[in-house]
Amino acid sequence: MTLDDEIEEVRTQEQAGTAAAKREAAEKRRQITIFTQKAKRIKKAKDGRAYGELLRAAKIHEDSPEWKDAWKYFYGKP
C-alpha cells in the first residue's frame, strides 16, 4: 500500500465516520493490554496491595463480580 493509498483510505474512513471508532477501539485494546501486563507482573510478585490499587485505578468496584473474579485470578482459584 502506497502512502497515497493510505491517505485515501483514512480520508474514506473519516468521511464514513469509522475512523474515530477505530481509534477508540485501538486505544481500548491498548489499555487492556497494559492492564493485563501489569496484573501479571503484580501477581507474579504476589503483591496484593498493588493489585488492589490496580483494580481501583481501573475503576473496578469492590464487591462487584469483576472484583471477585479478579481476586480469584490473583489467588489462582478457578
Query: What are the pLDDT digits (tens) for 41-73?
Result: 999 999 999 999 999 999 999 999 999 999 999
**Matching residue, cell 478457578:** 78
Domains held by the chain: number:
1
Which three cell numbers mark 26? 485501538
Which three cell numbers mark 75? 489467588
Task: Please report how many Cα atoms fall inside a 13 Å half-sphere around the Cα of residue 40, on the Cβ side.
Answer: 6
**Is this prediction's pTM over 0.85?**
no
d(CA 69, CA 29) in angstroms, rounded, equals 20
Helix (H) or strand (E) holding 24: helix 19-45
Range of the domain at 47: 3-75
Query: What are the pLDDT digits (tens) for 5-41?
Result: 887 887 787 777 676 777 788 888 999 999 999 999 9
